[in-house]
Amino acid sequence: MPDLLIELFSEEIPARMQARAAQDLKAKVTDGLVEAGLTYAHAGAFATPRRLVLTLEGLLAHSPTTREERKGPKVDAPEKAIEGFLRGAGVAREDLEEREDKKGRTYYAVIEKPGRPAPEIVAEVLEATIRNFPWPKSMRWGAGSLRWVRPLHRILCILTNDAGEAEVVPLDVDGFTAGDVTEGHRFMAPEPFSVTSFEDYAAKLKRAKVMLDPEERAEAIWNDATNAAFAAGLEVVEDRGLLAEVAGLVEWPVVLMGEIGAEFLELPPEVLMTSMKEHQKFFSLRNPKTGRIERFVTVANRETADNGATILAGNQKVLAARLSDAKFFWENDLRIAKDLAMAPWLDQLAHVTFHNKLGSQKARIERIAALAREIAPEVGADADLAEQAARTVKADLSSEMVGEFPELQGLMGRYYSEAAGLSPEVAAACEEHYSPLGPSDAVPSAPVSVAVALADKLDTLTGFWAIDEKPTGSKDPFALRRAALGVIRLLVQNEISLSLIDACISAQFGVDTTLMDLEKANPNSPINLRKRYAEAAQIEEKDLRKIEVKAIDKGALSTAIKNLRKLTERPDQVAEKLVELRLAEDLLAFFHDRLKVHLKGEGVRHDVIDACLAMPQADDLTLLVKRARALQAVLSTEDGENLVQGFKRANNILTQAEEKDGVEYSFGADRKFAETEAETALFDALDAADAKIGPAMASEDFPAAMGAMAAIRPELDAFFEAVQVNTDNEILRRNRLNLLSRIRTVCLQVADLTRLEG
């Protein structure tokens, strides 16, 4: 069985696209071949800066012949029907067979598709692959119309039989004729050569200074770099992304270790690492004892007669120029931090627009400062420190270093705050207040950092909500989902109880002030707050009540609603509160959605969360998550699962009776009417449970409360086994319904179990 080798040789393919392209080549070609009936035993795909390569072992030499029978119309069917059948089956009249059938003589078409030789199929599949290749970005070149990631130069496509003889697959794509020829390294071995098999190709490439396998190149780079570092008493700062990228920039990696000028060694290690990585694609070498970055590793694409001396000297020179810039920025920045306490930076932020509908960065800082101050007591932070931190954390955005390397924002703030002699809490907040960024990013726990981080994110969310820039579908240009998840993780991991409704309303106070200011400056501003309030003021009294009731239903009874009632004689203020409250509720629903996604990852069912959302204070996410986790835990026990079934049975009977009788059975059951032992036992069990649930609920120990509830399960089961609730004796019936009501009350304390599925 033959082996197939394909190489698509081009000008330099962007490093970031190579791995995906190799996989796409493999998928497209093998899918096409298999679909045409050519199976294979093994496939391998590789990429270098100048080539995409696919090798298939054990390919069928021919696709198998296929035979398909199709039943047609009866022999005496109308001519039209027979003609239609012939067209559909693609056969001639004389090719039809007549066979005796249950219904009489019927035409049959036997369509035989003869197998085709592999070269023919490979040529078709490869041409289609080249023409429809899924590059993220492709281009035309010269006078041609073919598209490739960069100009394509050669197509190598051969089939090698078991005797080792190679055959070029006949293929021509827009003037590119497939052959058996390739080239080696651009500079070290540029002469073309022909190959007869994959083994021959790989061996000749290696001789021509091309390491075909990207993993081999990455491994060689990593080994040589760590060895060089080790010999110098240093370690390589691991960076997988950089390693993969560098392996995609070279065909013949040569690791060179270089020096960083002594005058730059005092720069913060992050600055050195970022500058070297971003501009030069250098690896940083760290002194494990001091944590300082002392040298670098660069990867050249060739060997030279002077063992890389010229290359290294050039690289060091370029680095020195880059680091002179960085040093210049660092020293200027430090001066502004030390001598002027960063004041000029904050002044500059007045001229930097955060978003054209949400004002300047400075206005935003004012908002965050006020909000951080308000949140501070809730998270155990000193209010003055939180406010000071909030007024400091964005200052570094104006620094020259962050202007050059935006990814160093926050971190530079920490360095500059330290230089300015600010307290360690403030310095830490500079670095930490952006966190958590991703779902696995660490969550800060220092109270001042937490206060500023929450204020920052809540201001962002409230602001974009106020100007109606909410995320839709896959569009989330302002990363609001990430901000919401950040708030959730900050609250839950630090076990902070905070009313999000209240916090969002506080945040809106700041946002509204900004919007008013923008309106004053520009009467035609797109967000007209007064107009919005005026519209809201049109809302009638009954609508007002409806919104209140909805808020209470959601468990979001907040001070704002209480205030609302006091303010009914001031319609404009009521309207304002209404707008705020609506927005806060909408935002809360967004938080709840994100929370569901987040907890799903923990294995908490969405209906479990729904059951907990129905409880009071659902805008306190820490409380909500405690409930949800407790409920989820108890549901995974047998007692818990059965308790829910028992509860639902009790609840159904009770609800039906209440609807039928038009009364609420909540008078309390009386033990003296207990007829059977099962009933008495249930009374006992409920008394015992109540004794435990009360204190557990008081201390928000939901697992203990749920455990106590689950403990009544045997008595509840026995009760239903032994007792008929809807008995003819009205007194007994009422008492039993009141008993069920007690069960409902007990069971609904942690979550609304009626909302559980199943």
Partner 1 sequence: MDNRDTPQSFQEIILRLQAYWASKGCAVLQPYDMEVGAGTFHPATTLRALGSQPWAAAYVQPSRRPTDGRYGENPNRLQHYYQYQVIIKPSPRDLQELYLGSLRAIGIDLELHDVRFVEDDWESPTLGAWGLGWEVWCDGMEVSQFTYFQQVGGHDCAPVSGELTYGLERLAMYVLGIDHVMEMPFNDPSAPIPLSYGDVFRQTEEEYSRHNFDHASTEMLLRHFEDAEAECQKLLEAPADDPKMQRRIVMAHPAYDQCIKASHLFNLLDARGVISVTERQAYIGRVRALAKMCADAFVTTPAATGAA
- What is the contact surface with partner 1 in residues (CB under 8 A)? 11-12, 14-16, 49, 137, 139-143, 145, 149-151, 153, 187, 249-250, 280-282, 298, 300-302, 304-306, 310-311, 313-315, 317-319, 321, 324, 352-353, 356
Instruction: Specify the residue, 324 or 745, whose C-beta has the smaller distance to partner 1.
Output: 324
Instruction: Specify the residue, 145 or 474, whose C-beta has the smaller distance to partner 1.
Output: 145
Instruction: Specify the residue, 406 or 438, whose C-beta has the smaller distance to partner 1.
Output: 406
Residues 628-652 as b/e (b if ≥16 CB within 10 A, e otherwise) read bbbbbbbbeeebbbebbebbebbbe
- DSSP states of 106-137: EEEEEEEE---BHHHHHHHHHHHHHHT---SS
Instruction: Specify the residue, 356 or 676, whose C-beta has the smaller distance to partner 1.
Output: 356
Maximum C-alpha span of the chain: 108
- The distance of closest approach from Cβ of residue 286 to partner 1 in the complex, given in angstroms and rounded to an integer, is 20
Q: Where does residue 53 rank: exposed (0-12), middle (13-18), buried (19+ CB within 10 A)?
A: buried
- The distance of closest approach from Cβ of residue 201 to partner 1 in the complex, given in angstroms and rounded to an integer, is 23
Name the token pair of 696.
């557990």
- The distance of closest approach from Cβ of residue 216 to partner 1 in the complex, given in angstroms and rounded to an integer, is 19
Instruction: Specify the residue, 15 or 751, whose C-beta has the smaller distance to partner 1.
Output: 15
Asked if omega into 119 is within 30° of 0 (cis), the reply is no
Instruction: Specify the residue, 298 or 741, whose C-beta has the smaller distance to partner 1.
Output: 298
- The distance of closest approach from Cβ of residue 49 to partner 1 in the complex, given in angstroms and rounded to an integer, is 8
- The distance of closest approach from Cβ of residue 310 to partner 1 in the complex, given in angstroms and rounded to an integer, is 4
Instruction: Specify the residue, 248 or 640, whose C-beta has the smaller distance to partner 1.
Output: 248
Instruction: Specify the residue, 301 or 738, whose C-beta has the smaller distance to partner 1.
Output: 301
- DSSP states of 80-100: HHHHHHHHHHT--GGG-EEEE
- The distance of closest approach from Cβ of residue 339 to partner 1 in the complex, given in angstroms and rounded to an integer, is 22
Letter for the amino acid at 484? A
Cβ distance 59 to 3 under 8 Å?
A: yes
- The distance of closest approach from Cβ of residue 400 to partner 1 in the complex, given in angstroms and rounded to an integer, is 13
Instruction: Specify the residue, 109 or 257, whose C-beta has the smaller distance to partner 1.
Output: 257
**CA-closest candidate to residue 50, choices 132, 193, 153:** 153
- The distance of closest approach from Cβ of residue 141 to partner 1 in the complex, given in angstroms and rounded to an integer, is 5
**Who contacts 399 (Cβ-Cβ below 8 Å, separation ≥6)?**
329, 333, 336, 345, 412, 416
φ, ψ of residue 333 to 5 degrees: the values are -60, -45
**CA distance linking residue 413 with residue 427, whole number of Å:** 7
3-state class of 482 per DSSP? helix
Instruction: Specify the residue, 16 or 20, whose C-beta has the smaller distance to partner 1.
Output: 16
- The distance of closest approach from Cβ of residue 317 to partner 1 in the complex, given in angstroms and rounded to an integer, is 8
Cβ distance 29 to 72 under 8 Å?
A: no
**Who contacts 221 (Cβ-Cβ below 8 Å, separation ≥6)?**
243, 246, 247, 253, 255, 299
Instruction: Specify the residue, 300 or 430, whose C-beta has the smaller distance to partner 1.
Output: 300
**CA distance linking residue 644 with residue 743, whole number of Å:** 11
Instruction: Specify the residue, 145 or 699, whose C-beta has the smaller distance to partner 1.
Output: 145
Instruction: Specify the residue, 109 or 249, whose C-beta has the smaller distance to partner 1.
Output: 249
φ, ψ of residue 265 to 5 degrees: the values are -70, -15
Counting every residue written for the chain, the total comes to 758
Letter for the amino acid at 532? R
List helix spans (H) across 341-423: 343-349, 361-375, 383-392, 400-404, 411-419
- The distance of closest approach from Cβ of residue 489 to partner 1 in the complex, given in angstroms and rounded to an integer, is 32
- The distance of closest approach from Cβ of residue 15 to partner 1 in the complex, given in angstroms and rounded to an integer, is 7
- The distance of closest approach from Cβ of residue 13 to partner 1 in the complex, given in angstroms and rounded to an integer, is 8
Instruction: Specify the residue, 328 or 667, whose C-beta has the smaller distance to partner 1.
Output: 328
3-state class of 157 per DSSP? strand
3-state class of 410 per DSSP? coil
**CA-closest candidate to residue 385, choices 428, 342, 431:** 428
Tell me the torsion sign for CA atoms 541, 545, 551, 556: positive
- The distance of closest approach from Cβ of residue 324 to partner 1 in the complex, given in angstroms and rounded to an integer, is 8
Give the H/E segment covering residue 364.
helix 361-375
**Who contacts 245 (Cβ-Cβ below 8 Å, separation ≥6)?**
15, 16, 281
> 10 Å Cβ neighbour count for 155?
24
- The distance of closest approach from Cβ of residue 333 to partner 1 in the complex, given in angstroms and rounded to an integer, is 17
Tell me the torsion sign for CA atoms 130, 136, 142, 145: positive
Q: What angle do CA 685, 687, 688 make, to 5 degrees?
A: 65
- The distance of closest approach from Cβ of residue 12 to partner 1 in the complex, given in angstroms and rounded to an integer, is 4
**CA distance linking residue 519 with residue 529, whole number of Å:** 8
3-state class of 254 per DSSP? strand
- The distance of closest approach from Cβ of residue 527 to partner 1 in the complex, given in angstroms and rounded to an integer, is 15
3-state class of 159 per DSSP? strand
Instruction: Specify the residue, 313 or 691, whose C-beta has the smaller distance to partner 1.
Output: 313
Instruction: Specify the residue, 50 or 627, whose C-beta has the smaller distance to partner 1.
Output: 50
**CA-closest candidate to residue 575, choices 531, 621, 626, 519:** 531
